Amino acid sequence: MIRHVFVALVALAFSAGLAVAQPKVEKAPIKPTPASDAQGMFFNYCAVCHGGTGVGDGPAASALTKAPADLTRISARNGGQFPEVKVKRYIEGLDEVAAHGTRDMPMWGDLFRSLNRDTAQIRIQALADYLKSIQKP
Ligand code: HEC
| pLDDT score at 2 | 38
Substitution site in 90, 96, 105, 107 for ligand 1 pocket (most atoms within 8 Å of beta carbon)? 105
Vertex 60, ends 73 and 18: CA angle to 5°? 140
- Express each pLDDT in 8-47 by its tens digit: 554 444 444 444 555 667 777 788 899 999 999 999 999 9
Which domain does 43 fall in, by range? 32-133
Q: Is 98 exposed, middle or buried (0-12, 13-18, 19+ CB in 10 A)?
A: exposed
Report yes or no on 13 lying in a domain.
no
Report the number of distinct structural domains present in the chain: 1
Q: What is the CATH number of the domain that holds 92?
A: 1.10.760
pLDDT beyond 90 at 107: no
d(CA 25, CA 111): 17
pLDDT of 135: 98
Question: What's the chain's average pLDDT?
Answer: 82
| 97 pLDDT more than 50 | yes
DSSP character at residue 56: S
Residue 83 lies in a domain: yes
Rounded to two decimals, what is the model's pTM?
A: 0.87
- Residue with CA nearest ligand 1 atom 43: 105
pLDDT of 83 strictly over 50: yes
Instruction: Point out the ligand 1 atom lying closest to the alpha carbon of residue 7.
Output: 5
- Name the closest-CA residue to atom 31, ligand 1: 69
Q: What is the pLDDT of residue 23?
A: 61
Q: Does ligand 1 have an atom closer than 6 angstroms to the CB of 48?
A: yes
